[in-house]
Amino acid sequence: MRSGLNPFSPPKHNNVIIKFAVSFLLAGLAFHFLISDSFRFSSVVETPVPANEEAGTEALVASLPVEVPLSNDFAANESQISQPGIQIFFPFLFLHMPEYESKNPDEGSESAICLLEIGCLTLRDRFYTNQSCLEIERHQNCMKNGRPDSGYLHWRWSPRGCNLPRFNPKKFLRLMRNKSWAFIGDSISRNHVQSMLCILSRVERAVEVYHDEEYRSRIWRYPSHNFTLSVIWTPFLVKADIFEDINGVSSSEIQLHLDKLDKKWTDQYRNLDYAVIAGGKWFLKTAIYHENNEATGCHNCPGKNLIELGFGYAYRKAMHLVFNFITNSGHKAHAFFRTTTPDHFENGEWFSGGTCNRKVPFKEGEINMNEVDTIMHNIELEEFKKATASGSEKGVILKLLDTTQLSLLRPDGHPGPYRQFQPFAEDKNARVQNDCLHWCLPGPIDSWNDLVMEMIVNDGIYQ
């Protein structure tokens, strides 16, 4: 027996295993520190990114010091928080969209079902600022108007298990060369197009070539790409006689023709390559309904000796007419239907002192869709399903951009009192009208364009 052997020394093959394990551990630690440092936010004010900069990279533009949007409410959740800029997973966040087949590159030609129901909020810096984008309307320019917090700027929707890249403006414009795109709907559609204009401005600034008298309908051109982007203001999508001024003051009831579409958008539809169409809250206004050139009923019209049919009746009629037009137009545009946008008024409505002062997203169970939004959303889904059943046989490209549930979780993203410039400059306790329907820019609405980009690039995934 050899007495020189140490009974506690591992055999040689075990030494190799231990060395490999230690090396693997050290490599992992090094990778962790590298990633942590590379995703850290900058708290220094940076100049706007030049328009000709490579747009495929993440934008790290800041006009304000970063406020990490965490609160005592969020600290109690089952969240995993490490360095600022690292993903923070919240198991309570849900985005309701249809399931779709997503091809996994690691699986060759096989398909896997990806559900965009559970996701996380990722702390990322915004693509642009109110200084780098000149297209933000004053009512949505929350930073310029004096909103003091900035946490709402940094939440970005990231579906769990589904790769949702950020909007790539350079790639988008390359895909849109020689094409035309329109957002069709009410002021939320105008809010949406502003977000796209701001993101695209990192590559090329748009040139406005048309606007109507009230700047509700507008057209922009991107000369370097021969791309036309527009917004067509048609709040009902059907023919409507509206007697309101720019401030929403009405002199008479709206006359809504439920069997006739608004030619303002249908006459232009056949010239479009892409269209994002949406209904909205205008259907909640007092209106007289007309069919076959006769008044058949109304919504909220006491004393008119008409049948109270309700807004749901009119909304279903309008949705059916819109989808029927798209599926039978003979035009093969890429049509997206964006679902209704929930508001977040609390303690009243827009006309009765309602406010929206929250600074963080909702947690699970904190918010349910109200009855009005539920009715509108259900009608949209039902009519969309009918349209896709008939449209698929005709080769119609119709996709659902369902942003309703995602938006429901973002009460922190509205202008609130900061729809006006410095509303509390003279009186800290001033009573001002709040906007809890539209979205601050930059803000949550930018994530809608992430979804749009993915639906274009991976054509056929979202149906």
Residue 79: how many other CB atoms lie within 10 Å: 15
Instruction: For 157, list phi and psi in degrees, rounded to 5.
Output: -75, 130
Contacts of 329 (CB under 8 A, 6+ apart): 269, 270
Helix (H, G, I), strand (E, B) or coil at 188: helix
Tally Cβ neighbours within 10 Å of residue 210: 10
Active site residue 257: no
**155-159 sheet: strands from edge to edge:** 87-94, 118-123, 155-159
435 is catalytic: yes
Instruction: Please identify which of the residues 63, 102, 132, 187 carries the catalytic annotation.
Output: 187
Judge contact between 307 and 296, C-beta under 8 A. Answer: yes
Q: Which amino acid is at 296?
A: T
Give one DSSP letter per residue of 336-353, joined into a string: EEEPPPPP--BSS-TTTT
Q: Going edge to edge, which strands form the sheet with 254-261? A: 238-241, 254-261, 287-291, 294-299
Rounded CA-CA distance 409/88 in Å is 16
The residue count of the chain comes to: 463
In our burial notation (b when 16+ CB lie closer than 10 A, e otherwise), range 396-433 reads: bbbbbbbbbbbbbbbbbbbbbbbbbeebeeeeeeeeee
Residues 367 and 436: their CA atoms lie apart, in Å, by 15
Closest CA to 84 of 117, 52, 115, 62: 62
- CB atoms near residue 285 (< 10 Å): 19
Given 150, 257, 438, 447, the catalytic residue: 438
Catalytic residue among 186, 402, 412, 435: 435
What DSSP element (H or E) covers 101? Answer: strand 100-103
Cα–Cα distance for residue pair 360/243, rounded to 1 Å:
38
Q: 389: which residues sit within 8 A by CB, 6+ positions away? A: none
Which residues are tagged catalytic?
Answer: 187, 435, 438
